[in-house]
Amino acid sequence: MINAPTIILVGPMGAGKTTIGRLLSQQLDREFFDSDRVIEENAGADIPWIFEKEGEEGFRRRETQTLEAMLSEEQQPVVLATGGGIVMKEENRAMLKQQPLVVYLFASVAQQLQRTSKSNNRPLLKQGNPKETLTRLFALRDPLYREVASVIVETDSRHPKTVANKVMDAIKKHLATEV
């Protein structure tokens, strides 16, 4: 595992990308990045503010720039959590597909709904009915997560530590079978 490449987490809002990414980075003693946090730091503003002032389009532009910068920098292997919409742009998917270790954290819509109901900082869930939004986005994005991922890990009804261990096992298995 010491030699494992950068681990990139994709999946819907509430899958646990940020939470599991941090745990994995601790277990592997690696740096952790979250594309959403990097976007916020570079913008000097939070995501709701960016959506309000620049629209989703402005946010997506920043997201692509951030992904590009993070993947092109020569760096030690890190753990990178992405935002749930990273797969919407073709150019992002092309970048992700070139990466050796992209993990899709799968969560059912019911579980996404439960986990995202605790916070207030996801602009896409602030308008309309969150269940309908998550259902619509899942139908659109689930095939795209599958398209870019090399490993899929189910997260429903599992404690974050259990999910992190499952990801580690799945990565080991994947790296062992890859030639």
Ligand X SMILES: Nc1ncnc2c1ncn2[C@@H]1O[C@H](COP(=O)(O)OP(=O)(O)O)[C@@H](O)[C@H]1O
Residues that bind ligand S3P (CB under 6 A): 13, 17-18, 36, 47, 83-85, 122-124
In the complex, least distance from residue 2 CB atom to ligand S3P, rounded to whole angstroms: 27
> What number of CA atoms fall less than 13 Å from residue 154's CA on the CB side?
3
- Partner whose footprint covers residue 155, from ligand X, Mg ion, ligand S3P, none (CB < 5 to 8 Å by kind): ligand X
Token pair listed for 68: 């590009």
Question: 19 is in the binding site of which of Mg ion, ligand X, ligand S3P, none (Cβ under 5 to 8 A by kind)?
Answer: ligand X
The site for ligand X (CB under 6 A) is made up of 11, 13-19, 81, 115, 118, 155, 158-160, 163
Kindly give the interhelix angle for 160-177 and 17-28, rounded to the nearest 10 degrees: 70
DSSP designation for 108: -
Which of ligand S3P, Mg ion, ligand X, none does residue 123 bind (CB under 5 to 8 Å by kind)? ligand S3P
Least distance from C-beta 125 to ligand S3P, angstroms?
8
Give the binding site for Mg ion (CB under 5 A).
17-18
- Residue 62 assigned ligand-binding role: no
Is 146 a known ligand-binding residue?
A: no
CA distance linking residue 68 with residue 89, whole number of Å: 12
Q: Are strands 7-10 and 102-106 parallel, antiparallel or unpaired?
A: parallel
Q: Which helix (H) or strand (E) holds 102?
A: strand 102-106
How many CB atoms within 10 Å of residue 57?
A: 9
- Residue 10, SS3 per DSSP: strand
Which residues are part of a known binding site? 14-19, 36, 60, 84, 122, 141, 158
Annotation: binding site for substrate: 36, 60, 84, 141
Binding site, annotated residues for ATP: 14-19, 122, 158
